[in-house]
Amino acid sequence: MPGPTGKERECGDEQDTEAHLADSIAAPEAGNNAASAGTLIPMLTLGVPGSGTTAVMQVLLVSLSIQPRPLPFERLPDLVWGLIAALYLANVMLLMLNVPMVGLFTRMLSLPHWLLMPLVVMVSFIGIYSISHSAFDLFVMIGFGACGYALRKLDISLVPVVPGLLLGADMENNLRRALSISGGNFDILVRSLIALVIYLVTALLLVRSFTISLRRSRQAAARL
């Protein structure tokens, strides 16, 4: 809603003024920031993540044997209300930091990438090594950073990769358990109607994603 609303305001006489441009940018950004907290509601109550960030949070909760949906409100009220209190505290801290330092942040964005990126990498190295004091963790960070860079260049979303890494061990354990029950027969993976429906939906989504990507590449080539 904030995006279309901001566009509708562009129809007045103030279209070229800096104040109107600031309003047009502030509307969608304010809506984006407001939605970040609201996406936690369906995750905590229904177990349905409302964004990529809450999807990662849900996977982490499941990996800690904490099932979303209404159960955390009954069994782990300290966790849920602590999370809500942290959101309020984070908003207050953001207000206290962003208002006086907005000028500094805008100047930092004007820095060239060849200067800004090494600073970010150096801070990341310091943070990783200060926690574990292990050189192996540094190499792990470099490896995953290279993988993330390759995925970004290939225009592949990072959101599905994180749940795959976190839930990979559980998937292997369940697969091993299923094969042990069936005596090593892989037919057990396709006997259930629910499994067949999941396979079909997954295949359709993959085909749809590939088709959309192919169509966009053709449209981009046609413009050139």
Q: Indicate the range of 103-112, 140-149, 154-163 predicted with least confidence.
A: 154-163
Query: How far, in Å, are 20, 41, 59, 77 from residue 64 at the CA level?
Result: 48, 20, 9, 16
Three-state SS string across 175-219, please?
HHHHHHHHCCCHHHHCCCHHHHHHHHHHHHHHHHHHHHHHHHHHH
pTM, whole model, 2 decimals?
0.47
Please, are residues 30 and 51 in contact by the beta-carbon 8 Å criterion?
no
* Half-sphere exposure for 208 (CA within 13 Å, toward CB): 6
Q: Give tens-digit pLDDT for 53-70.
A: 777 777 777 777 777 766
**What is the reported pLDDT for 87?**
82
State how far the alpha carbon of 148 is from the alpha carbons of 69, 140, 153, in Å.
31, 12, 9
Check residue 83 and report its DSSP letter: H
In tens, the pLDDT along 161-212 reads 766 776 777 788 888 888 888 888 888 888 888 889 989 998 998 898 888 8
The least confident of 28-32, 38-42, 117-121, 138-142 is 28-32
Instruction: Using DSSP, state whether 6 is helix, strand or coil.
Output: helix
